[in-house]
Amino acid sequence: MEKVTILGAGLAGCEAALWLADRGVAVELWEQKPQKHSPAHTLNSYGELVCSNSLKADRLDSASGLLKAEMDLMGSHILPVARATRVAAGGALAVDRDKFSEEITRLVDSHPGITVIHEEATALPKEGLVLIATGPLTEGALAEEIRQLTGDSRLNFYDAVAPIVTAESLDMEKIFAASRYDRGEADYLNCPFNKEEYEAFHAALTQAEKAPLHSFDGTLTVYEGCMPIEVMAGRGADTMRFGPLRPVGLRDPRTGHRPWANVQLRAENAQRTLYNLVGFQTNLKWGEQQRVFRMIPGLERAEFIRYGVMHRNTFLDSPKVMTPALHLKKHPRVYFAGQITGFEGYMESAACGLLAAHSIWKALEGQTFQAPPAGTMCGALLEYITAPNKNFQPMGANMGILPGRPDIRDKRQRYLAVAQKAVEEMKDWLEGQGYPLKEKEN
């Protein structure tokens, strides 16, 4: 069977390598450690967790718990390691990061089907299928080759990203749908401030505590077109009102007048279950974001499924260049997995590695890969990164991207019902695709 080359021994690369090697595929895994470390990494072992040691909730009625359940069925090698090296963390699955990484390394190095090349990958192999899983800090000659394959504008770097909230947590008694000057079809949701509300919000924003930058982020330049909202607020009381919070062309139907200031929310997905706070790129601490941004009219009970962040992150403009099979549209032998695709988070990265492995396996068998149903968490994330989206940003697992159950009022019961259906859909998909079904190991 044809050899597969995998670049990067992070969570995505290791999941893919182990899954494919178990099925008799000869895997050549390139990992630059220990000869070279990125600014974020310190261990010589694989699957290193850079920041938190938490892999988030393990309950089925949570987004991360559902993702884990699907990964178990798909044949994850990472999750059994995580459970074997877990440490007490309440309802979350947290691990001893050193033991976790050491055990992943042992599994990979001892597998007879995997050959590890301890060198920096500076170019893609000329022939054969290749999976790029080099993560959000991809740089140098490899990053340049990816740019050439995808087009200069198709490998993004962002400094600051705005928060995302769920539609169901918004107070629509205070929010109205409209586009400025009634252009378009009311594409935005609008949160109108009166003068007193705005002044209180501005004061809180200027005093809120900022998050420290990681050492590997370096000194970040604040670009005018991507300025953190707290930096803008610090330039004067009216700066935001003449920027992203400008109220011109809008009329508050409750008062019949133009708001003093206005926050716009833009749909983050086609189903309009998630909304992005337009212009609210930020480096505030997450707790501060929740406290201050809930002062925006209509967001008093907002559920944040992603907080604003400010750090280095290299990722593909996946909707423009990637297929749901996780290979480039113009270069079908080149696959991607992990955070470089826009799957945001530890487990999401590993799940993407599994999806890529399943897709590559189909290609090796001469068959066509069919993506999991959009009712599964894996399928919904895959759909998110490949559906048209001119404002694409990375996304982690969240219940907002799954089909809802508005008939169930209790939130936890609603999420559980959605998750249970997703698990059944994942089982049906795996069986329909002819993949071996793997039950959870305890």
Are the C-beta atoms of 154 and 147 separated by less than 8 Å?
yes
What does the pLDDT read at residue 107?
97
**Is 334 a residue whose pLDDT tops 70?**
yes
Query: How far apart, in whole angstroms, are the C-alpha atoms of residue 128 and residue 1?
Result: 11
Boundaries of every domain in the chain: 4-157+313-433, 161-310
Helices of type H across 151-256: 195-207, 229-233
- Tell me what the mean pLDDT of segment 385-404 comes to: 90
**Is 424 a residue whose pLDDT tops 80?**
yes
Residue tagged 């069986």 (tokens): 431
**Is 185 a residue whose pLDDT tops 70?**
no
The domain made up of 4-157+313-433 has a fold known as FAD/NAD(P)-binding domain (3.50.50)
The H-or-E segment that residue 304 falls in is strand 304-306
What does the pLDDT read at residue 153?
55
Band (228; pLDDT cuts 50, 70, 90): confident
**Is 241 a residue whose pLDDT tops 90?**
yes
What is the distance of C-alpha 400 from the center of its chain? Answer: 13
Query: How far apart, in whole angstroms, are the C-alpha atoms of residue 318 and residue 262?
Result: 31
User: Where is pLDDT greater, at 181 or 221?
Assistant: 181
Q: Which residues contact 106 (CB under 8 A, 6 or more apart)?
A: none
| Cβ atoms < 10 Å from Cβ of 291 | 14
Looking at the structure, give the CATH architecture of the domain made up of residues 161-310. Beta Barrel (2.40)
- Tell me what the mean pLDDT of segment 157-163 comes to: 69
**Is 223 a residue whose pLDDT tops 70?**
no
What does the pLDDT read at residue 88?
77
What does the pLDDT read at residue 259?
96
pLDDT in tens, 255-286: 999 999 999 998 877 788 999 998 898 889 99
Averaged pLDDT score across all residues of the chain: 88
**Is 224 a residue whose pLDDT tops 50?**
no
Query: How far apart, in whole angstroms, are the C-alpha atoms of residue 89 and residue 109?
Result: 29
Query: How far apart, in whole angstroms, are the C-alpha atoms of residue 73 and residue 16?
Result: 15
Band (216; pLDDT cuts 50, 70, 90): very low
Of 144-158, 167-181, 376-390, the least confident: 144-158
Task: Give percent above pLDDT 90 in the chain.
Answer: 65
Parallel, antiparallel or unpaired: strands 304-306 and 114-117: unpaired
Query: How far apart, in whole angstroms, are the C-alpha atoms of residue 213 and residue 436?
Result: 43
Task: Give percent above pLDDT 70 in the chain.
Answer: 90
Amino acid at 117: I
